[in-house]
Structure 1
Amino acid sequence: MVEPQDPGDTDYLRVAEAAAAMDVPRMTVYDLVQEGKLPAVSFGKSYRIPARAVREYLSADRHAAVPLN
């Protein structure tokens, strides 16, 4: 788990919300958090993911995609 770098970033998503925004299963979000690829903050037994981090992850993923020809 990685702490967000900007302490002023207070727009957090629940795992289910992040999964819906990323169009992936919730387990994929948990895996990304555990692998350190997606920052998250632990609130008791649940995680909150900064919305900014989801946007950045999706943007980086689009740039890494290879077009199918």
Structure 2
Amino acid sequence: MAKLLLTVPEAVEALSISRAKLYQLMDSGAVPYLHIDRSRRIPLVGLETYIADQLAKENAA
């Protein structure tokens, strides 16, 4: 079964961006996340939605 939630390092690797950039995206609301205790977890579907939104913006320009 595929993971539904990713850790910050896993999401960074999946998006090929820096850790700081991922935190910026999460803090701005562009990439959703959950708090589980003191850890942040990023839903896989949230990353897919972020990518789809970025592609739509690129195609609209």
Q: TM-score range by the shorter chain?
A: 0.7 to 0.9
User: 2:21 corresponds to which residue?
Assistant: 28
Alignment RMSD: 1.6
Higher relative contact order (CA 8 A, sep 6+): 1
After superposing the two structures, state which structure 1 stretch, 38-47 or 16-25, moved more: 38-47
For 1:24, the aligned partner's letter is I
**5+ long unaligned stretches in structure 2:** none
Radius of gyration: which is bigger?
1
1:38-57 paired onto structure 2 within 5 Å: 38-57=31-50
Q: TM-score, normalised by structure 1?
A: 0.71
Displacement of 1:42 in angstroms is 1.1
Q: Percent identity?
A: 26
**5+ long unaligned stretches in structure 1:** 1-9
**Count of aligned pairs between the two proteins:** 57
Higher helix share: 2
Q: TM-score, normalised by structure 2?
A: 0.78
Find the aligned partners of 1:25 and 1:51 in 2 and give their Cα distance: 17
